[in-house]
Structure 1
Amino acid sequence: MSLPNLYLRRRHERRVQRGHPWVFSNEVDIERSPMTAFQAGDCVNVSSYSGKPLGTAYVNPHSLICARLLSSEANCILDEELLRERLVHALALRERLGWLPHCRLVYGESDRLPGLIVDGYGEVLSVQIGTAGMERVRDEIVRALVKLCRPAAVVLRNDLASRGLEGLESYVEVAHGEVPAVVSLRENGASFEISPLEGQKTGWYYDHRRNRARLSHYAQGRSVLDCFSYVGGFGIQAAMGGAQSVLCLDSSQSALAGLSRNAERNGVADRVDGCRGDVFDSLRALRGEQRRFDIVVVDPPAFMRRKKDRRAGIEAYRRLNRRAMQVLEADGLLLSASCSFHLSPEEHQDMVAGAAADVGRWVQILERGHQAADHPVHPMLPESEYLKALLVRVCGY
């Protein structure tokens, strides 16, 4: 059976030919292939203006990203067989990394499964479906995962805000087995307890795995401040790396309760404390108390979710880093992270340098960090490389 065609406008095929996995609505020849002819999630053959086949995609006529490529071949069917093939390929990478079963198993377009995220927490899989095309085959996704991974449970964490852009409802649902209130994971030799049903995102942030490991190498005998700590990813691993004391700041009481349990699990409760409150306010209060730390970690939520947020977002990052530097000892270390794709690595570096200048200090870059290898980067999709981390020595006072 031949799929219907989605024709691109004249001279708009080059990017797709080079491997970019998205088609934008303003690139479609709507006279030959009106978007009103398609339902969200329909599979189509993407064709150049001249009719040259470019591959198979699923469409959403209501989204700016109106088509997402599944294959460079025409008439590819998004079914359980294709899902299984792609999942096998994705799992092979994670097996090679040696991180199974505690890692990101599927990372969307980078694993040729656009709109699908799967995180593994031992015998529990947490799945996020972000697009109408993948939502249409959600049952097939669950079946394929159960057959391949044999998990005790699968939870659909389809409560991400971006689903609204696809016209999808937000929900959390147990799709297979019984999901416990808490599950455990291992990372860099540490053990963590998280909530797969109520935790942030899918429950954990595996993207910082390597950055947490690197920071712990600098922690021996040091005092550490972990801002936006969640359940203690950076702070607890720093304590296990020999930190003398760790203070974790977060606005969530449930996150700090998880921090306390995780500190106990790893035998570092005597060196890890939590403080609830707005991080900006807490940093101001610590400065007022003349508290100083050898290492400060700032890993905030995205301050820049859209291009139009750029100016305000950069200022928010700069203000946060400025306040972090004001509680750093002379020659202390700052790990400054950003998960905002719209903040480029160059802008992130400039922001950190500018924040230092604001408080009469200067920095030396010791290490650059990025997302872990279970979040592979799609070479034609800059949006797949979102995480930035700079470890800097903040000099002068």
Structure 2
Amino acid sequence: MAEIIIKAGKERSLMRRHPWIFAGSVERVAGRTKPGDTVDVINPRGELIGRAAFSPASQIRARMWTFDTEQSIDHAFFKRKAAESVARRARHPALSAQDGVRLIHGESDGLPGVIADRYGKVVVLQLTSAGAEKWRDAIVAGLVQATGCDAVYERSDSDVRGREGLEPRVGVLHGELPADLSIDENGIRMLVDVVGGHKTGFYLDQRDNRLLTRQLASARSVLNCFCYTGGFSLQALAGGATSVLSIDSSAPALTTAQRNVELNPQLDATRAQWWEADVFEALRTLRTEGRKFDLIVLDPPKFAPSASHADRAARAYKDINLHGFRLLNPGGILMTYSCSGGIGQELFQSIVAGAAVDAGVDARIIHRLAAAPDHPIGLAVPEGEYLKGLACQVG
């Protein structure tokens, strides 16, 4: 097996069990390697630290599979890791009854570059690292064995694959997809487009926050921005909102959102309005019209994929939150989110606080919001805490 020898002083993060080895931390590579190959990781004293997947095209030159020096990286390893991840979710009382669950969450489950989401009897797999790519067959076999699913569909089409020197890959890996796929999320039926939808087809990380929206929406007028297929909107309707205005720039997403309302006849569809528009422009239009709302949800796409984009992203977050605060009635609640890895929790709160000051409102945090528990954060990998949010009440 080839070896990666770590530079002196660069092994500290590995000693804390952080799984990434950056190119600048590598003294040299001994032996012949191909992308995705398993390599021994050797500290500056010549001692074995563990085993990693090699990725010559990426600035993250290797990702640790294990810190157990006795552990072999083979088909059995991936089947066991998949089974352990699935079992952890099955034991969680808030997840065991859900139709839609993230089964594997990358580094947090000890499988860097592997994302697996279950929607009913379909598992959607996303592989974003060279090591995960190499072990695709073992990972699929492990998921099929652990879940008994009818189908596995690959959605390895995220931009991050390009940094690993990998081409996009999509398609059925096991079984056959149903014509229509839907899940029940806390009593609401939602369609999931695993082929053409965002990410793996749905935003499972916001499940708990959608339920909180439902609990807060009673007798309130609601504005849902960047609504996608209406997850927050339908939960607000279920919670007794007097009206829900939902805005998104995607006509297909809004069409699916309206189909979702039809799937839930217990909801009052007359209270829902759908608006295809650029959210930034729509917020200004609503302000000009003098509209006001009791509950506003701002769940934008990723404005800052990395720290280098943080300044531009901060301006965008400031803009939408400023207008959000200005559109709230006294006592109203702003539920605002960032899924940008380049924007940390402290910076995000500072941006929202600045927006409240500029809007001329007094606001207080009543809830700190994060991803659902099937999206765990490894203590050694704080970068995994990508989704952060605040529920702020004004007046």
Scaled by the length of structure 2, the TM-score of the pair is: 0.96
Distance 1:5 1:79 in 2: 17
Does residue 165 of structure 2 align to residue 170 of structure 1?
no
Partner of 2:55: 60
Does residue 187 of structure 2 align to residue 189 of structure 1?
yes
Per the TM alignment, residue 80 of structure 1 is displaced from its structure 2 partner at its CA by 2.2
Letter of the 1:291 counterpart: R
Q: Identify the match of residue 138 of structure 1 among 133, 136, 139.
A: 136
Q: Identify the match of residue 252 of structure 2 among 254, 259, 267.
A: 254
Letter of the 1:7 counterpart: I
Per the TM alignment, residue 25 of structure 1 is displaced from its structure 2 partner at its CA by 0.6
Partner of 2:37: 42
Structure 1 residues 98-117: aligned runs within 5 Å: 98=93, 99-100=95-96, 101-117=99-115
Partner of 1:217, secondary structure, is: helix
> Structure 1 unaligned runs (5+)?
none
Question: 1:13-55: per-residue Cα shift (whole Å, max 9, x none)?
Answer: 121012111111100112xx26x94211010110101111110
Letter of the 1:372 counterpart: A
Question: 1:147-198: per-residue Cα shift (whole Å, max 9, x none)?
Answer: 2212111110011010000011113111112213431112222211121111
Partner of 1:207: 205
Partner of 1:159: 157
Distance 1:381 1:129 in 2: 19
Letter of the 1:308 counterpart: S
**Is 2:103–2:116's contact at 8 Å kept on the other side of the alignment?**
yes
**Is 1:45–1:75's contact at 8 Å kept on the other side of the alignment?**
no
Distance 1:79 1:138 in 2: 12
Partner of 1:295, secondary structure, is: strand
Root-mean-square deviation (CA, aligned residues, Å) is 1.4
Structure 1 residues 48-127: aligned runs within 5 Å: 48-74=43-69, 76-98=71-93, 99-100=95-96, 101-127=99-125
Q: Identify the match of residue 216 of structure 2 among 207, 218, 224.
A: 218
Partner of 2:178, secondary structure, is: coil
**Is 1:44–1:75's contact at 8 Å kept on the other side of the alignment?**
no
Per the TM alignment, residue 306 of structure 1 is displaced from its structure 2 partner at its CA by 1.9
Distance 1:175 1:308 in 2: 36
Distance 1:341 1:127 in 2: 21
**Is 1:207–1:375's contact at 8 Å kept on the other side of the alignment?**
yes
Partner of 2:27, secondary structure, is: coil
Letter of the 1:358 counterpart: D
**Is 1:43–1:77's contact at 8 Å kept on the other side of the alignment?**
no
> Structure 2 unaligned runs (5+)?
none
Partner of 1:344: 344
Distance 1:181 1:27 in 2: 48
Partner of 2:4: 6
Partner of 2:377: 377
**Is 2:335–2:392's contact at 8 Å kept on the other side of the alignment?**
yes
**Is 2:307–2:343's contact at 8 Å kept on the other side of the alignment?**
no
Distance 2:127 2:71 in 1: 20
Letter of the 2:244 counterpart: V
Aligned length: 390
Does residue 23 of structure 2 align to residue 25 of structure 1?
yes
Per the TM alignment, residue 256 of structure 1 is displaced from its structure 2 partner at its CA by 0.4
Structure 1 residues 377-396: aligned runs within 5 Å: 377-395=377-395
Letter of the 1:232 counterpart: G
Per the TM alignment, residue 75 of structure 1 is displaced from its structure 2 partner at its CA by 6.2
Partner of 1:29, secondary structure, is: strand
**Is 2:2–2:33's contact at 8 Å kept on the other side of the alignment?**
no
Partner of 2:259, secondary structure, is: helix
Relative to structure 1, the CA distance from residue 181 to residue 285 in structure 2 (aligned partners, 3 Å threshold; closer, same or farther) is farther
Partner of 1:234: 232
Letter of the 1:27 counterpart: S
Question: 1:229-287: per-residue Cα shift (whole Å, max 9, x none)?
Answer: 11111111111011111111111111101110111222322222211011111111111
Identity of aligned residues (%): 40
Distance 1:173 1:11 in 2: 43
Question: 1:90-110: per-residue Cα shift (whole Å, max 9, x none)?
Answer: 111111124244210000011
